[in-house]
Amino acid sequence: MELVFATHNLNKLNEVRLLLPKHINLLSLADIGCTDEIPETENTLEGNALIKANYVLTHFGYNCFADDTGLLVDALDGAPGVYSARYAGAKNNAQANIDKLLLELQHSSVRTAHFKTVIALLWQGKSHFFTGTVHGDITYEPRGTGGFGYDPVFKPDGYDKTFAELPMAVKNNISHRGNALKKLLEYLHLQAS
């Protein structure tokens, strides 16, 4: 089974490849020759994920899935949300995003937040959505060197380490993306049987 994951983010791609069974040949945008930066112009995670998957299907003809992820911080009324990757500006700079987040929370004792990932799958002419979440807290300073994005400041419920401190296998098992991907894989397994 061949499937495209519509992302240029190598960290995301590697995370997903670790979770997929061997019978799924996961292709990246680079593998299919897509160097375009697909615009995310919707104001929902679902909308942005679908835009990316539609772009690949329309321009390259592959069954495809794409995701969009947001960090929703309670003290910030759900911000940065759909704008998580560009929170500190259009350059998509993870460290700048973390710095802005910590600055905005510096006087807040409410640190609860959750990550939400929505995967849009375009499979044999139909669209399907799979959602995963993980709840936790924003730390007061970055900790750890693993992961990417907001991982150094997100401590999932039930753990005393941030996503950036946890081993990748543990993070993948409990993460928002991991939870959404499990639902996607269950669906693909049903289609293959």
- Whether residue 31 lies in the annotated active site: no
| Percent of the chain residues topping a pLDDT of 70 | 99
Instruction: Give the per-residue pLDDT at 97.
Output: 96
Total number of domains constituting the chain? 1
Stretch among 21-25, 26-30, 40-44, 168-172 having the lowest mean pLDDT: 21-25
Q: Which two tokens stand for residue 164?
A: 């950036």
**Model confidence over 79-135: pLDDT tens digits?**
999 999 899 987 779 999 999 999 999 999 999 999 999 999 999 889 999 999 999
Active-site hit among 31, 36, 68, 137: 68
Strand partners, 116: 70, 133
- The label of the residue with tokens 């700079």 reads 93
Q: Which helix (H) or strand (E) holds 47?
A: helix 45-60
C-beta separation of 113 from 154 below 8 A: yes
In which band, very low, low, confident or very high, does the pLDDT at 18 lie, cut at 50, 70 and 90?
confident
What is the average pLDDT value for the chain, to the nearest integer?
92
In which band, very low, low, confident or very high, does the pLDDT at 40 lie, cut at 50, 70 and 90?
confident
Residue 192 pLDDT > 80, yes or no?
no
Residue numbers of the domain that contains 99? 2-192
Alpha helices in the chain, H assignment, sequence order: 10-19, 45-60, 94-104, 168-174, 176-192
User: Can you give the pTM of this predicted structure?
Assistant: 0.90
**Model confidence over 175-186: pLDDT tens digits?**
999 899 999 988
In which band, very low, low, confident or very high, does the pLDDT at 23 lie, cut at 50, 70 and 90?
confident
Residue 193 pLDDT > 70, yes or no?
no
Nearest to 69 by CA among 141, 144, 136, 131: 131
Q: Tell me, what CATH number does 30's domain have? A: 3.90.950.10
